[in-house]
């Protein structure tokens, strides 16, 4: 588990999910208090902007259905302060947030593990059933003719 605090939330990564947790006054003034979990498989991109002396930076996770907007000077910081998929940053947050971003990037590009080999091989197909008269699977007390591949419409009384 790796975690990094930002100005309006904490981002945690456990290898499978990115969790954005918000509490306190800054959360109430921006997105709201709560927690959002994003599956690693849903993350399409990570946007990262370092803060400057005049503007907050941010880390933002792009997910399917999200809306990305090209922004002008300072508008990205204002927009991400209200995004549920972003956490704003001050200079003191950058080092930890970069380490978190690297861990998520590494997990995103890691090869997908192949499914484990099963110890039970696929069973062989059932033995071939020769053509002939057999008990009718649809009607008790009668026979139906099996042509070796499928049931026919020919029936006869059993017995």
Residues 2-50 have pLDDT tens digits of 999 998 899 999 999 999 998 877 666 666 778 999 999 999 999 999 9
Amino acid 30: pLDDT? 65
Question: Cα separations (Å) of 53 from 16, 27, 31, 101?
Answer: 34, 22, 23, 22
Share in percent of the chain as helix, strand, coil (round to 5): 20, 30, 45
Question: 3-state class of 50 per DSSP?
Answer: coil
The per-residue pLDDT for 2 is 94
* pLDDT of 127 strictly over 90: no
Which residue is associated with the tokens 């300072």? 74
Distance CA 18, CA 25 (A): 22
Q: Are 58 and 78 spatial neighbours (Cβ–Cβ below 8 Å)? A: no
- Residue 26: other Cβ atoms inside 10 A: 15
- Share the mean pLDDT of the chain: 82
* pLDDT at residue 3 in the model: 95
Confidence band for 115, pLDDT divided at 50, 70 and 90 = low
Alpha-carbon distance of 103 to 101, in angstroms, equals 5
């Amino acid at each position: 588990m790796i975690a990094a605090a930002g100005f309006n939330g904490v981002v945690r990564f456990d290898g499978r999910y990115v969790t954005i947790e918000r509490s306190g006054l800054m959360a109430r003034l921006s997105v709201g208090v709560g927690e959002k979990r994003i599956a690693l498989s849903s993350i399409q991109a990570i946007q990262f902007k370092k803060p400057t002396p005049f503007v907050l930076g941010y880390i933002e996770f792009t997910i399917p259905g999200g809306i990305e907007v090209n922004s002008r000077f300072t508008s990205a910081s204002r927009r991400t302060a209200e995004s549920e998929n972003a956490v704003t940053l001050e200079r003191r947050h950058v080092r930890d947030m970069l380490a978190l971003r690297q861990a998520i990037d590494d997990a995103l590009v890691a090869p997908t593990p192949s499914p484990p080999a099963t110890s039970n091989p696929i069973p062989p197909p059932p033995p071939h059933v020769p053509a002939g008269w057999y008990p009718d699977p649809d009607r008790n007390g009668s026979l139906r003719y099996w042509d070796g591949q499928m049931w026919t419409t020919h029936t006869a009384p059993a017995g």
